[in-house]
Structure 1
Amino acid sequence: MIRPVVPFVVAALLFGLGVYGVLRRRNAVLVLMAVELMLNAVNIVLVTADTTVRAAVRDAGLTHTGGVFALFVVVIAAAEVGVGLAVILQLYRLRDTVVVDDLDLDAEPEGAR
């Protein structure tokens, strides 16, 4: 049987890797992928916590609450990917770059008026 601490450690490592990716990456698509890593780490924590505390939750009349929350996180992640990629695509069309450090959001793009 797998110890319940192993998935929590894996989730912490995934979340840390996602934070590192958000802070260090310059490409907007890679930043979006790092955010997805963090959301998947949260899913692992929710499902693991649900399985480790299932007996106490079952006595209260609630079952599989971690799985339900994980499903909501998956839906939010899918919406985030759709909107995020649309924003990045429009940003590339206007500025010809997706490198976050090179973007000047205050300047007006060429041919905007």
Structure 2
Amino acid sequence: MRDGTGGRSGGVRRDRAHRHQRDPRPVPPRGDPAHHAALGGGTTVTLHVFVPDVVSLADRAKAASAEVLQPPTDMFHGDRTVILKDLSRHLWVFLSHSEDISEAEIRLRTAAG
């Protein structure tokens, strides 16, 4: 990608300008199911999908040979979540909304640990 100068007149290519900047996204530690496969981890992609009922979905997925990494769990952010790994080693995070909570309540719940 170029900056619009066609590389002339002192133009800087965007890819070169950003080459030495650190990626701000944290890398999950080794052993974490979300650690990228290219780095020796267990997944190539993680998808988050909202569904009406994570419990029945988890049961169907397990019957279809998916690995349940986290059973359906009520989370601090007001959603029930299940984490599955399919036979291609992709991670799927399915969520069902379970309660409406304020931003202040989310902060309280995360501070409480």
TM bucket by the smaller chain?
under 0.3
| TM-score computed with the length of structure 2 as normaliser | 0.23
| TM-score computed with the length of structure 1 as normaliser | 0.23
Which fold has the larger relative contact order, with Cα–Cα distance below 8 Å and residues 6 or more apart in sequence? 1
More helix, by proportion:
1
More strand, by proportion:
2
